Structure 1
């Protein structure tokens, strides 16, 4: 005899997504929008060609918000094939500065090469020169209630 499915059996799983083209990257961008992170949680591993961020991202995909307050989760956003990193409006040497990610976009140059542009609140940006687009977004902790207990909003 089989039992009926229960609500608990359909629990949400951590995200583990990859992007190999601009369209896939837009999905990751929408899920990482409004993520916050201290500047100390950015790493460029030049020898390995990887750039990573440890983000506290809003769980935009959370369908259970009617049952609980908005949640965040720590996630690793990693880019491979990175040849160079440049930034604008990101304070150098101040590891405690908290940055807010607004969007991620891919600007092709000489296919498959291009630039990944991470746009930050306050006119900041990080540009990654990549040989080819390869990104991953992976949740690495359990969700927690957002300290503000609200979802971020943006004027129209």
Structure 2
């Protein structure tokens, strides 16, 4: 059996699950440069679930779009984190529902017995810190891909 390749997913929507810290780098790479607003996220304390509706850049399609000389794409995706005990934020106003936030990475800092803190690192020194009982999240595309409004792939300074 061969490993899956990005090309295998071509036009299929992503539906990924992370159940261990080792799974997070793949999800983190796929949500890098996703944008959302404060109105796009919510925490259900009773349901112990944190959800964000993201406008995700389709990193898995970047090479093919470049090769085929076609527009880069974004897709609306839901990042759902389950078994969340609490949520804290830095640099994100609780009442600011309109500012556009950019997700840079997911980082997990383990605690005792599988617990830990999942940090959603945001551009501009912002962060969302989710205290979790375990790593348990999904990333699900919920729309068809659409042309990236900028027409460009996100760029990051070297170094």
TM-score (norm 2): 0.89
Alignment of 1:57-96 (within 5 A): 57-62=56-61, 63-65=63-65, 66-67=67-68, 68-96=70-98
User: 1:150 aligns to what?
Assistant: 152
Higher helix proportion, which one?
2
Runs of 5+ in structure 2 lacking a partner? Answer: 1-8
- For 2:97 and 2:11, locate their aligned partners in 1 and report how far apart those are by CA, in whole Å: 33
Q: C-alpha separation between the residues in 1 aligned to 2:24 and 2:137?
A: 7
Deviation, 1:11, is: 4.6
Deviation at 1:97, TM superposition (A): 0.7
Find the counterpart in structure 1 of residue 41 from structure 2.
42
Count of aligned positions: 147
Which of structures 1 and 2 has the bigger CA Rg? 1
Q: TM-score scaled by structure 1? A: 0.91
Q: CA deviation at 1:22?
A: 1.2
Does the aligned pair in 2 maintain the 1:25–1:135 contact within 8 Å?
no
Distance 2:12 2:34 in 1: 19
RMSD (Å), alpha carbons: 1.1
Runs of 4+ in 1 over 4 A off after TM superposition: none
Q: Deviations over 1:41-95 (max 9, x none)?
A: 0000110000000000000001530331110000000000000000000022111
Moved more, 18-27 or 119-128: 18-27
Give the distance between the partners of 2:37 and 2:25, measured in 1 at CA: 23
